[in-house]
């Protein structure tokens, strides 16, 4: 029965597509939403049954590729890790489906939207339930395509389609890493099945290969390649540029794909493969480094952005950084915990922002907002809840998970751990700051847009608010509810064999016994951040512009997103365009064709022209040439005679 | 009783029989100089039914086919030129059957898609198409080198006619270029074949296979065959005929060209070069890897620079066929499986893409990527189909395009990781040009949209596009349908390398 969790969304996608082409939008909504809710309910049952009661369930399995000794199966795996993901994905997805009914009510192609959303959910579930690397890659690319389709959903907007293409291409760079990692694993492990890989991992620890005179450890190299894939999907530093642009898509999409689920696939993948990554200490250090840098880097950009969705997007990027450095310090349960709570409060924030945008007739620029809290009281409260959870204020969901991650970083007692701790603490201040900057700019002060827009501002309908309430419930209570299970004393019983931590990588154990000040620090940092934001945007309103002038260089750097887009444009986009034109015009047309068929034919042509010149048709020409020939022959004869 | 029938020869000559029937249909001309509508319909129906019957017969053959049998099946043998040892021997194995199925599947689609587009000389068009089909099936089932050579070259004749008569404005230049390239290959191949007959005394493949050529002989003979096959594949730098031929060919011609004709090269490598000249194949492996890697990376760049969408797909074909040659010369199961699967899958996907281009060309009469646009609004159903084909072409998991690529990557990594990494770049490069293609066509705004009346796909087009989508997905999810055929032949090919 649990197999239905995965296939119900697919059925919903196909049916709503077909129905949407034939009938009005009502049956589409009924079908897709009921499929999703059913799937959500089953995944809650599965969570209770498998993750809590520890019952076993064998998923369906079918052959996929048989080629010689290479075998891949369609196979579904139901362990604690995948059940947690089922729960997160399906709950958020069901809420987003419901929310979309209201949000997309003015759009023409509702059926297409619902079908894409359901298809995305299916692909994501395929990803998290896979039992081998290749099926994981199927889901991995499937969510990529769904994301591409949904970012470019409003295909008449040029910025939307270019953002869609950008997202797909940047992800493909990561995917190349992933598929090479997969092949690499297959070459040395002779299997792509997780179980076999994990069994073999300890014995492969010291195997290394020599590539271009450098010695590489097999596990290190394969984990590194796989992590490149995770960097692309989870928008980590260097491959993050697509995520902010992805905000061109409709807001429910941003909530579901670019906040709660798809972007966390990288974190999930590393957790899933923890029995492999544990034997790659250098890669783990690298992951920590990238995660810590991303957490700090993305939050610096979020400080200066004015698009309400981009602020939240960079915040997502930064939170993913937190998850990754937790992973890198072998605190997989902590990462999964933050993934779960983050899914709730970030989806809440995005959908709340969507409610603002919906209420303000698609305005996203915070400079044109302000003072909306009277008109959008419910949304206002919900965004407060989301921000409190994000900033890590006690008893909200984010508090438990972020606290845990920082404690782990401190407790790991290594250089990289302290580095991550410092980055994480700084990012925590910035997180609180930009969250309250967002609240103050949007809801407080005077309205800075058109008067006519202000009059039209309206609170969202119930169908949009209801999912927000449920997510807010999650944002408040999920931390408290899952804490004991995920990272409590008995965490290894809960995760059973779905997460593996090598003895010695014990940061997660030590995290419970860190000094008191470390435990308190996140709260203090959050309050500092909120206070600064209050000073900046409520008490002394002209301070932000003065500060930005004082630190002009830093501000422009942050505002322009550290110029990553420009650098990539200069390094990759332009050369590729130039090179392709060069290949086409010079090599293909001039060299190959010029020397090949065209060259031959023109040579033949010119040779025949020369030879045709001899045939003039005048008798005296011919007789003259005959005379010359005769004279030559006679000369030769005479010469020969003389020699004799 | 039916077991003793020359069922394979019947299959080969069935389309020719249909062509003869069409010849008998009177083509009276009315006052306006046009053939009567009645007989046009007859011509179309006869050719459609002939091709459908051929397809059903190949399905029957594949049902009766024994996967585990190591010998050729449905063998037929007649003496032909005893003094030279030339025999008429045809038969099937798991390698040829997928290609025959692909051919028989694509031809009805081609006939259906030319239903209204071919306006003049419809009779001649259908006849050449059916003859083309017969020659192709003959080529894939020939087990005598001379018989193979005859079919291999004969295929070009109807193809020339299709491009040269029903082609675009510069059709003469295109067929000339096509001819020049193939001529180079054919001459060398003929010399190699004469040498083989001279030394072994026969051209019967089964007997020639038992003969061991010396290393030097192999090296030279391999080259003799190589140019002919390399032009067909086409490998870099013998590829420049392909874009021109595609651009000038009518839609149906492009489908057959990309879907089947390109596969003749890969098939030839697998059928002749590898088993007959194993030492030479090993010797030339690095060079072929080099050419294929260049093909994959270089043509991806060239495809990105194209304005003409048919040229774009043509160049992408060269890149995709680069995977085939890499796979074949990996000499391991995954490589070979991947290569053949890639050929079958590319046959369907590129055929589908050319068909899709034909659909919009019929409506807008342009193939300029900058003049097209916004089909997601004007032709929503069509743009969904195109999306499937585009995703298939970029090798998305779940479509058939993925299986071939990933198997070839696995196979080549075992031989040379660098080759795998370079060819893996096509994951990114392929996405670059295909997404540009899709974005320009389906999204964006078209310049001359108002000039043409654009309606979404009609029933006929829908019925052609649906099976293509179904097979792209079916093969992506259950690739074993094809891979099962290949187990035994690939095992046997690899035996010669041990």
Average pLDDT along chain A, 644 residues, taken 10 residues at a time: 88 87 78 91 91 84 87 88 91 92 83 90 92 92 92 87 90 92 90 89 82 80 92 89 88 88 91 90 92 91 88 91 90 91 92 87 82 84 91 87 89 87 92 90 81 80 89 89 83 83 80 84 90 86 82 84 86 86 82 77 82 80 88 88 65
Does B424 contact A180 at a Cβ distance shorter than 8 Å? yes
Contacts with B478 from chain A: Cβ below 8 Å: 64
- CA proximity to A249, closest of A340, A368, A119, A146: A146
Domain span at residue B462? 2-495
Does B240 contact A577 at a Cβ distance shorter than 8 Å? no
The confidence score (pLDDT) of residue A585 equals 81
Instruction: State the Cα–Cα distance between residues B201 and B224, nearest whole angstrom.
Output: 19
Nearest CB to B406; choose among A68, A179, A597: A179
Nearest CB to B333; choose among A63, A68, A596: A68
The confidence score (pLDDT) of residue A107 equals 81
Identify the residue among B241, B243, B301, B423 best suited for mutation to test binding to A, counting A beta carbons within 10 A and taking the highest: B301
- Asked if residues B377 and B451 have their Cβ atoms less than 8 Å apart, the reply is no
- CA proximity to B408, closest of A188, A169, A183, A193: A183
- For every residue of B111-126, DSSP letters joined together read HHHTTTT--S-HHHHH
Q: Which tokens belong to B464? A: 């052609």
Q: Nearest CA of chain B to the CA of A113: how many Å?
A: 13
Does A172 contact B427 at a Cβ distance shorter than 8 Å? yes
Contacts with B298 from chain A: Cβ below 8 Å: 583, 587
Contacts 24+ apart (CB under 8 A), B470-474: B471/B105, B471/B348, B471/B400, B472/B345, B472/B348, B472/B349, B472/B352, B472/B388, B472/B389, B472/B392, B472/B399, B472/B400, B472/B401, B473/B388, B473/B398, B473/B399, B473/B400, B474/B400
**Count H helices, E strands: chain A?**
30, 4
Does B431 contact A172 at a Cβ distance shorter than 8 Å? yes
Identify the residue among A64, A65, A596 best suited for mutation to test binding to B, counting B beta carbons within 10 A and taking the highest: A65
Q: From residue B234, give the alpha-carbon distance in Å to each of B185, B243, B269, B321.
A: 12, 11, 12, 7
Contacts with B333 from chain A: Cβ below 8 Å: 67-70
Does B334 contact A70 at a Cβ distance shorter than 8 Å? yes
Instruction: State the Cα–Cα distance between residues B134 and B155, nearest whole angstrom.
Output: 9
Does A584 contact B301 at a Cβ distance shorter than 8 Å? yes
* B32 burial type by CB count under 10 A (0-12 exposed, 13-18 middle, 19+ buried): exposed
Does B337 contact A137 at a Cβ distance shorter than 8 Å? no
Nearest CB to A145; choose among B298, B338, B396: B396
Residue B481 forms contact with A (CB below 8 Å): no
User: In B, residues 37-96, which contact A (CB 8 Å cutoff)?
Assistant: none
Does A596 contact B240 at a Cβ distance shorter than 8 Å? yes
- What's phi and psi for B73, nearest 5 deg? -115, 160
- Asked if residues A209 and A223 have their Cβ atoms less than 8 Å apart, the reply is no
Does B435 contact A580 at a Cβ distance shorter than 8 Å? no
Instruction: State the Cα–Cα distance between residues A459 and A439, nearest whole angstrom.
Output: 16
Chain A: residue nearest B431 by CA? A169
- Asked if residues A183 and B420 have their Cβ atoms less than 8 Å apart, the reply is yes
Nearest CB to A588; choose among B240, B374, B417: B240
Please count the structural domains in chain B: 1
DSSP annotation of A517: H
- Asked if residues A133 and A235 have their Cβ atoms less than 8 Å apart, the reply is no
pLDDT along chain B (498 residues), means of 10: 73 88 76 69 86 90 84 83 82 89 92 82 86 92 90 88 84 81 86 89 84 88 90 86 88 90 91 89 92 91 89 91 92 92 93 91 84 81 90 91 92 90 90 89 69 75 90 92 88 82
Chain B: residue nearest A158 by CA? B444
Does B444 contact A152 at a Cβ distance shorter than 8 Å? no
Does B420 contact A63 at a Cβ distance shorter than 8 Å? no
Nearest CB to A597; choose among B177, B302, B332: B177
Q: Nearest CA of chain A to the CA of B51: how many Å?
A: 31
Contacts with A176 from chain B: Cβ below 8 Å: 424-425, 427-428
Q: State pTM to two decimals.
A: 0.91
Nearest CB to A67; choose among B333, B397, B425: B333
Supply the ipTM of this predicted assembly.
Answer: 0.90
Chain B: residue nearest A168 by CA? B431
Identify the residue among B399, B431, B470 best suited for mutation to test binding to A, counting A beta carbons within 10 A and taking the highest: B431
Instruction: State the Cα–Cα distance between residues A181 and A187, nearest whole angstrom.
Output: 10
User: In B, residues 94-153, which contact A (CB 8 Å cutoff)?
Assistant: none
Q: Nearest CA of chain B to the CA of A564: how many Å?
A: 19
Half-sphere exposure of A326 (CA within 13 A, CB side): 30
Contacts with A574 from chain B: Cβ below 8 Å: none
User: In B, residues 399-428, which contact A (CB 8 Å cutoff)?
Assistant: 403, 406-407, 409-410, 413-414, 417, 420-421, 424-425, 427-428
Q: Nearest CA of chain A to the CA of B172: how many Å?
A: 13
Backbone angle region of B76, left / alpha / beta, with phi > 0 → left and psi within -120 to 50 → alpha: beta
The confidence score (pLDDT) of residue B403 equals 92
Nearest CB to A179; choose among B332, B376, B424: B424
Q: Which tokens belong to B88? A: 């008429």
Contacts with B306 from chain A: Cβ below 8 Å: 584
- CA dihedral over A437, A439, A445, A448, signed as positive or negative: positive
User: In B, residues 222-241, which contact A (CB 8 Å cutoff)?
Assistant: 237, 240-241
Instruction: State the Cα–Cα distance between residues A77 and A131, nearest whole angstrom.
Output: 6
């Amino acid at each position: 029965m649990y197999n239905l969790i995965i296939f119900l969304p697919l059925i919903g996608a196909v049916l709503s597509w077909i129905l949407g082409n034939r009938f009005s939008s009502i049956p589409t909504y009924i079908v897709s939403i009921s499929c999703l809710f059913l799937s959500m309910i089953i995944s809650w049952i599965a969570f209770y049954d498998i993750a809590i009661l520890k019952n076993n369930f064998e998923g369906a399995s079918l052959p996929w590729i048989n080629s010689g000794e290479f075998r891949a199966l369609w196979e579904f795996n139901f362990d604690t890790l995948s059940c947690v993901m089922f729960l997160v994905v399906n709950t958020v997805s069901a809420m987003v489906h419901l929310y979309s009914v209201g949000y997309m009510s003015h759009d023409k192609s509702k059926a297409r939207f619902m079908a894409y959303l359901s298809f995305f959910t299916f692909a994501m579930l395929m990803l998290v339930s896979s039992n081998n690397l290749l099926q994981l890659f199927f889901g991995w690319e499937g969510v990529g395509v769904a994301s591409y389709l949904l970012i470019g959903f409003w295909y008449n907007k040029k910025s939307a389609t270019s953002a869609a293409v950008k997202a797909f291409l940047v992800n493909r760079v990561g995917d190349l890493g992933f598929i090479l990692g997969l092949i690499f694993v297959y070459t040395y492990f002779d299997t792509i099945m997780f179980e076999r890989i994990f069994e073999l991992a300890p014995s492969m620890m010291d195997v290394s290969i020599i590539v271009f005179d450098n010695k590489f450890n097999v596990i290190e190299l394969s984990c590194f390649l796989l992590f490149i894939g995770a960097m692309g999907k989870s928008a980590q530093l260097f491959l993050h540029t697509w995520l902010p642009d992805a905000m061109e898509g409709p807001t429910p999409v941003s909530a579901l794909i670019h906040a709660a689920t798809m972007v966390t696939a990288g974190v999930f993948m590393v957790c899933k493969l923890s029995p492999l990554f544990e034997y790659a200490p250098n890669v783990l250090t690298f992951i920590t480094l990238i995660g810590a840098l991303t957490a700090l880097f993305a939050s610096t950009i979020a400080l200066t952005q004015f698009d309400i969705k981009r602020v939240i997007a960079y915040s997502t990027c930064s939170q993913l950084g937190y998850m990754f450095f937790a992973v890198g310090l072998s605190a997989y349960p902590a990462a999964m915990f933050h993934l779960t709570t983050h899914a709730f409060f970030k989806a809440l924030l995005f959908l709340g922002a969507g409610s603002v945008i919906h209420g303000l007739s698609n305005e996203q620029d915070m400079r044109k907002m302000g003072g909306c809290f009277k008109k959008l009281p419910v949304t206002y409260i919900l965004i407060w809840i989301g921000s409190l959870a994000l900033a890590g204020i006690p008893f909200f969901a984010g508090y438990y998970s972020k606290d845990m991650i920082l404690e782990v970083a401190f407790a790991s007692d290594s250089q990289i751990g302290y580095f991550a701790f410092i980055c994480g603490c700084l990012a925590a201040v910035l997180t609180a700051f930009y969250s309250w900057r967002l609240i103050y700019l949007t809801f407080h002060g005077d309205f800075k847009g058109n008067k006519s827009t202000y009059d039209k501002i309206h609170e969202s309908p119930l169908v949009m608010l209801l999912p927000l309430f449920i997510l807010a419930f999650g944002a408040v209570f999920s931390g408290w509810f899952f804490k004991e299970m995920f990272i409590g004393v008995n965490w290894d019983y809960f995760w059973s064999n779905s997460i593996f931590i090598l003895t010695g990588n014990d940061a997660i154990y030590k995290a419970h016994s860190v000094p008191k000040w470390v435990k308190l620090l996140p709260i203090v940092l959050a309050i500092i951040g909120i206070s600064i934001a209050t000073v900046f945007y409520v008490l002394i309103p002209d301070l932000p512009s003065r500060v930005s002038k004082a630190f002009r260089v830093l501000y422009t750097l942050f505002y322009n997103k550290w110029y990553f887009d420009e650098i990539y444009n200069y390094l990759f986009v332009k050369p590729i365009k130039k090179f392709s034109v060069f290949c086409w015009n010079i090599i293909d047309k001039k060299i190959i064709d010029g020397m090949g068929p065209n060259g031959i034919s023109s040579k033949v042509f010119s040779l025949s022209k020369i030879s045709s010149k001899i045939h003039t048709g005048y008798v005296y020409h011919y007789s003259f040439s005959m005379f010359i020939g005769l004279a030559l022959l006679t000369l030769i004869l005479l010469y020969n005679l003389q020699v004799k | 009783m039916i077991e003793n029938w020359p069922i394979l020869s019947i299959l080969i000559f069935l389309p020719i029989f249909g062509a003869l029937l069409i010849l008998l249909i009177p083509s009276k001309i009315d006052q306006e100089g046009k053939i009567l509508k009645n007989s046009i319909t007859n011509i179309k129906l006869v050719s459609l039914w002939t091709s459908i019957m051929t397809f059903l017969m190949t399905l029957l053959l594949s049902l009766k086919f024994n996967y585990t049998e190591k010998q050729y099946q449905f063998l037929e043998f007649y003496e032909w030129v005893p003094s030279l040892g030339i025999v008429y021997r045809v038969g099937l194995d798991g390698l040829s059957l997928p290609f025959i199925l692909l051919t028989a599947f694509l031809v009805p689609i081609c006939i259906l898609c030319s239903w209204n587009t071919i306006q003049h000389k419809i009779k001649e068009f259908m006849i050449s198409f059916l003859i083309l089909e017969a020659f192709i099936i003959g080529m894939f089932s020939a087990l005598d080198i001379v018989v193979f050579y005859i079919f291999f070259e004969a295929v070009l004749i109807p193809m020339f006619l299709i491009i040269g008569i029903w082609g675009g404005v510069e059709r003469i230049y295109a067929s000339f270029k096509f001819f020049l390239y193939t001529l180079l290959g054919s001459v060398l191949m003929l010399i190699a074949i004469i040498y083989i007959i001279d030394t072994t005394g026969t051209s019967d493949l089964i007997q020639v296979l038992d003969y061991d050529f010396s290393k030097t002989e192999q090296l030279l003979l391999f080259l003799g065959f190589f140019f002919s096959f390399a032009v067909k594949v086409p490998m870099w730098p013998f590829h420049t005929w392909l874009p021109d031929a595609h651009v000038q060919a009518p839609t149906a011609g492009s489908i057959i060209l990309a879907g089947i004709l390109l596969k003749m090269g890969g098939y030839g490598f697998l059928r002749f070069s590898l088993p007959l000249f194993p030492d030479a194949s090993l010797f030339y492996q690095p060079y072929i890897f080099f050419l294929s890697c260049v093909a994959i990376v270089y043509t991806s760049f060239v495809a990105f620079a194209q304005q003409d969408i048919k040229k774009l797909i043509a160049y992408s074909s060269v890149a995709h066929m680069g995977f085939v040659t890499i796979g074949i010369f990996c000499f391991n199961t995954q490589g070979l499986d991947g290569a053949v699967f890639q050929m079958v899958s590319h046959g369907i996907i590129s055929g589908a893409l050319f068909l899709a281009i034909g659909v919009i060309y019929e409506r807008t009469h342009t193939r300029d990527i900058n003049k097209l646009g916004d089909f997601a609004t004007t032709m929503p159903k069509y743009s969904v189909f195109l999306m499937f084909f585009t995703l298939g072409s970029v090798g998305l998991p779940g479509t058939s395009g993925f299986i071939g690529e990933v198997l070839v990557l696995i196979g080549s990594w075992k031989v040379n990781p660098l080759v795998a990494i370079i060819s893996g770049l096509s994951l990114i490069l392929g996405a670059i040009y295909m997404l540009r293609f899709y974005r320009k066509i389906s999204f964006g705004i078209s310049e001359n949209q108002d000039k043409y009346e654009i309606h979404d796909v009609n029933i006929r087009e829908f019925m052609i596009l649906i099976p293509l989508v179904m097979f792209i997905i079916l093969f992506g999810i259950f690739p074993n349908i094809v891979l099962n055929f290949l187990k035994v032949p690939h095992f046997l090919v690899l035996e010669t390398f041990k």
